[in-house]
Amino acid sequence: MSAYQAFEVSDARRFRLVTRPAREPEPGHVRVRVEACGVCHSDVLAVEGVRADPHAPIVPGHEIVGVVDAVGDGVRGWRAGERVGIGYLGGHCGQCEQCRRGDFVNCTDQPQTGTTIDGGYAEMVHVRSSGLVRIPDGLGAVEAAPLLCAGLTMFTALRQAQARPGALAA
């Protein structure tokens, strides 16, 4: 694929369908062919222009399921053809103080998929390999995509509440 299409937004709610040239992934990154991308309330940051530079075009979407299409130099543990998911946190740097302590969620150099880096409202996306999760073959892309944000949010809440199997949750 020498080009791909994406829906980018600039300012507030100014969507455009654009064609972009396909490029090889940077070192430490992978290129993912998008199968599905959920639509999440957090996408409002990009859509409503609530970003550092709302005039710069960005591709929203952070509940992404796809297939690794290409692997950049230095990437270990991932290969082309693997099914992956990408959430809002676009991969920790591994270099900052928080990363060196193993506190990857609070990485000071972590991109936000669909807000500070292009997201999944596109045919392909480039992300740090540290931001990937494996998606089992038996789980459909449309069913898996929302789990990468809303599902994780709910699971975390249930875990922190120490809810047991069969417990009533509202």
Q: What's the pTM value of the predicted model, to 2 decimals? A: 0.88
pLDDT for 25 equals 97
Under 8 Å CB-to-CB from 77, ≥6 apart: which residues?
129
pLDDT at 167: 84
- Give me the pLDDT at residue 1, please: 65
pLDDT of residue 127: 97
Q: Going from the first residue of the chain to its last (170 residues), give the mean pLDDT of each consecutive group of 10, the final group possibly shorter.
A: 92 94 96 96 86 92 97 97 96 96 94 95 97 96 91 77 82
Structural domains of the chain in order of their starting residue, each with its CATH number? 3-160 (3.90.180.10)
Q: What confidence score (pLDDT) does residue 49 get?
A: 85
Q: 45-78 as b/e, with b when 16 or more CB fall inside 10 Å?
A: bbbebebeebeebbbbbbbbbbbbbbbbeebeeb
